[in-house]
């Protein structure tokens, strides 16, 4: 049986990747905001510090109401007619003189579960899933390394404590639901100037119907680990607050969503108050201003090129040799693409039907539009999420990220030929999305999401790069990440592997043995699994391979000649 490739990498999740948010305005479950030098949205699982910190409340737990947005701090807003109202700051200049700052993301994962004596034989499980972030260059960035070392060991210990508190009730089988403690980290920018990242922390307890979410952001100056706050970047907060509200209000997509504009007005009130903390992230070409409450998480991008009167422009426009930029609510990006020293406008051009689905689509470079040819991509039923500008080893590309409720996500790829962006082809994967796999800012090291029916409807996170592949993603690891818990229905003989990925003999799993799928090689349809014992020292890794003659989809998969649903329980399919 084929030995799995990159097992050790998958077990530890040693990666150096990131990307942009899947949606400019992401909506998730419960959030609150409480601020120290980070941004907390719930008092759940904050890492303890050895130093005393002063905490101040910066956002209420309830959603903003009209009374909140009419505070004395609310800026005046005269309205905007769109991009024509804004000019590019002469101080905004493009420089590719930064070095990438390589980082390591290690996944600390623990799990246990049992098959409950219920009518449908539910699997109740307790899991801990924590990303631990550090940087590779400890010698030249020792202060930044120390800052991360002050965050993640304590965070990981807190999650271990939660897991250990819950574990006994799962070992003795008295638990009545599942419990999950999760902390994922997404790096937004990583270079010799700025190290900016966000953590999504969630605890979910099915037994008590408790679901608590925390978002925390950090923006470090890489050289000395000074942490930026908004006052370090914005010189005129009331002026920037007006600009922020007017800029977003001018976009059609925002005008059609009064709920989002309520959030924008609420944030504008906070921005205008020089003593209020406002969560934000720093990208190469602007700021993401973040809104959180009990139920939502939204990010609003503000391009630095239009905000020269209010912000420190030295942080923006400077990049490593390769990078990716994300469009804003106007579906456009301002950048010097042709290298003539003047700013170019890259904008999505489209026509939609009454349901918002695309009828035609193209990428405009300044005033020159290149549309997808009729035989290039069937766009019926697709909607545009956003566009990205990629600087790669062989030039500039544009990605158009499209989606549909009834079809695979689609990314259309355009290449800059010196005068326009010409359509190349497309691929059917999702680009990075917060709460799944990260941000998209490094085209040489990011992730895509592939759907699968192996072990139930779900997705696999695959690690990719466009380097040397004409702007299209190609895998850098065979094994993609997939975490799902299942159990056997009958006795099963398996091939064991040790933590280094070497074969380690045979093992027999009894009926009702609980295991977690930790990764899938979609090409060979081989799974890396971990058997879960009450005594974690007895856990071991094993592999399963879908029979070559099995069908590709749904319920036709077989292992060792046995159909998937006859062999395993806890597998669920959508639809």
Query: What is the residue extent of each domain of the chain?
Result: 1-16+447-575, 322-444
Beta bridge partners of 413: 399, 425
- Total residues found in the chain within this entry: 575
**Does pLDDT of 56 surpass 70?**
no
Task: Report the 10 Å Cβ neighbour count for 343.
Answer: 18
pLDDT band at 59 (very low <50, low <70, confident <90, very high): very low
Chain-centroid distance, C-alpha 558: 33
| Residue 79: Cβ-neighbour burial (10 angstroms; 0-12, 13-18, 19+) | exposed
The Cα–Cα gap between 74 and 241 comes to 8
Coil, helix or strand at residue 185: strand
pLDDT band at 247 (very low <50, low <70, confident <90, very high): very high
pLDDT band at 513 (very low <50, low <70, confident <90, very high): very high
The Cα–Cα gap between 234 and 243 comes to 12
Cα end-to-end span (Å), the chain: 33
Among the ranges given (26-40, 62-76, 312-326, 422-436), the one the predictor scored with the smallest mean pLDDT: 26-40
The Cα–Cα gap between 395 and 321 comes to 10
The Cα–Cα gap between 490 and 482 comes to 23
- pTM for the full model? 0.85
Res 356: pLDDT: 82
For residue 387, give the nearest of 378, 377, 396 by alpha carbon: 396
Res 552: pLDDT: 59
Coil, helix or strand at residue 176: coil
Torsion of CA 271, 277, 278, 281, to 10 degrees: 130
Res 7: pLDDT: 41
Residue with tokens 């119907």: 209
For residue 229, give the nearest of 186, 271, 278, 267 by alpha carbon: 278
For residue 286, give the nearest of 311, 269, 260, 255 by alpha carbon: 311
Please give the average per-residue pLDDT across 90-100, as a whole number: 94
Please give the average per-residue pLDDT across 480-497, as a whole number: 92
**Does pLDDT of 565 surpass 50?**
yes
């Amino acid at each position: 049986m084929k030995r799995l490739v990159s097992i050790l990498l998958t077990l530890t999740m040693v990666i150096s990747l990131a990307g942009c948010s899947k949606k400019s305005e992401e909506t998730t479950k419960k959030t609150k905001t409480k601020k120290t030098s980070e941004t907390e949205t719930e008092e759940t699982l904050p890492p303890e510090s050895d130093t005393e910190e002063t905490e101040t409340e910066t956002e209420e737990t309830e959603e903003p109401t009209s009374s909140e947005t009419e505070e004395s701090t609310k800026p005046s807003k005269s309205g905007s007619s769109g991009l024509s109202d804004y000019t590019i700051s002469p101080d905004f200049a493009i420089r590719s003189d930064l070095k990438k700052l390589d980082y390591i993301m290690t996944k600390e994962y623990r799990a246990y579960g049992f098959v409950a004596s219920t009518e449908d034989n539910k699997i109740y499980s307790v899991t801990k899933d924590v990303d631990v972030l550090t940087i590779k260059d400890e010698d030249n960035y020792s202060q930044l390394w120390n800052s991360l070392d002050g965050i993640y060991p304590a965070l990981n210990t807190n999650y271990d404590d939660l897991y250990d508190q819950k574990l006994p009730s799962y070992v003795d089988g008295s638990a009545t639901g599942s419990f999950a403690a999760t902390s994922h980290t997404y790096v937004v920018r990583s270079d010799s100037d700025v190290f900016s990242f966000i953590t999504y922390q969630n605890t979910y307890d099915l037994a008590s119907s408790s679901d608590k979410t925390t978002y925390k952001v950090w923006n470090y100056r890489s050289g000395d680990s000074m942490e930026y706050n908004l006052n370090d970047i914005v010189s005129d907060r009331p002026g920037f607050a007006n600009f922020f509200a007017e800029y977003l209000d001018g976009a059609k997509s925002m005008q059609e969503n009064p709920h989002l504009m309520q959030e924008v007005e609420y944030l504008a009130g906070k921005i205008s108050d020089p003593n209020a903390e406002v969560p934000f992230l720093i990208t190469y070409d602007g700021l993401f201003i973040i809104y959180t409450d009990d139920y939502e998480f939204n990010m609003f991008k503000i391009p630095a090129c239009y905000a020269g009167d209010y912000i420190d422009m030295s942080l923006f426009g400077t990049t490593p040799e390769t990078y990716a930029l994300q469009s804003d609510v106007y579906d456009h990006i301002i950048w010097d693409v042709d290298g003539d020293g003047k700013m170019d406008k890259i904008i999505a051009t489209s026509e939609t039907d009454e349901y918002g689905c695309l009828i035609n689509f193209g990428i405009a470079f300044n005033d020159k539009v290149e549309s997808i040819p009729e035989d290039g991509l069937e766009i019926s039923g697709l909607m545009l999420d956003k566009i990205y500008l990629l600087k790669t080893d062989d030039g500039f590309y544009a990605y158009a990220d499209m989606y549909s409720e009834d079809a695979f996500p689609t990314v259309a790829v355009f290449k800059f030929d010196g005068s326009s962006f010409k359509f190349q082809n497309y691929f059917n994967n999702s680009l990075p999305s917060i709460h799944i796999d990260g941000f998209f800012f490094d085209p040489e090291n990011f992730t895509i999401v592939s759907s699968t029916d192996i072990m139930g409807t779900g997705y696999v996170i695959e690690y990719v790069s466009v380097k040397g592949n004409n702007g299209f993603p190609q895998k850098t690891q065979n094994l993609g990440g997939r975490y799902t818990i299942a159990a056997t229905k009958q006795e099963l003989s398996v091939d064991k592997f040790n933590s280094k990925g070497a074969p380690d003999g045979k093992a027999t799993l009894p009926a009702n043995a609980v295991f977690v799928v930790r990764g899938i090689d979609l090409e060979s349809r081989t799974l890396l699994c971990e058997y879960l014992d009450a005594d974690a020292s007895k856990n071991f890794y094993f592999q399963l391979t879908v029979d070559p003659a099995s069908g590709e989809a749904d319920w036709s998969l077989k292992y060792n000649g046995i159909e998937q649903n006859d062999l395993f329980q806890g597998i669920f399919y959508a639809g």
